[in-house]
Structure 1
Amino acid sequence: MAGEVSFFELGVGDAGQARTFFGGLFGWDFEPGTTDGGGFAIRTPNVPGGLHGADSGASPYLFFRVDDMEAALVRVRELGGSADDVELGGGEESVARFGRFQLCQDDQGTPFGLHQPPPGA
């Protein structure tokens, strides 16, 4: 189903330090991600997430599931929103493992993300 929260991403200054903090706080499990800079995939009981470093000023990124990224991006723009020119991710391996991600803004400038999970997810 489209529209539910399907992924979150935490941008932090130091990924290892954040892993220790959030792992200790919530009991999350981490595994190495596919991005440079010591990123991690986060396994939670509900919504999977990611953690990346070198992004100390970031707010948490919230991604909503879509079944068709291209159609969703067309609809975002039709409704007066915008999307970044560059899709997030680390290439074919990352897309196969985590799916496709795109940062957008609604018609008032509020940031959000779209996530098309990989096939079979």
Structure 2
Amino acid sequence: MIEISASSTTTTIVVSGDLDLAERDQFPEIAARVVGLRRQLVVVDMCRVNFMDSTGAAFLISLADAGRKRGGATVLRGADPRDLFVIEVCGALDLFRIDPDHRCEPVTAPDVTETDPTPSI
């Protein structure tokens, strides 16, 4: 899932789940919305990305390239080293600013109470 929010200067994109070939149908619409907002700074929150392939990287690269052409910048926040590696392999890591200080909030698992599997008689 991809959520978009905007302030007067920044567009924030929060990605949850996979950013890959299976999700590519939504990329053009999201890119058009982000570009249409015309904010100088695009922040991509990747704290909840489970997996990203080269298709997901190409989507992020297209956002960064569009922003750079308008004189803006794209920041990756909470990106896992494996995701940065995918972008680096694509030769586009220099299109992004990396937020090294951001710490993702831990995802808490629901409280699970263990029960006795033995039926009572």
Q: TM-score, normalised by structure 1?
A: 0.29
For the pair shown, the structure with the greater C-alpha radius of gyration is: 2
TM-score, normalised to structure 2's length? 0.29
The structure showing larger relative contact order (alpha-carbon pairs under 8 Å, at least 6 residues apart) is 1
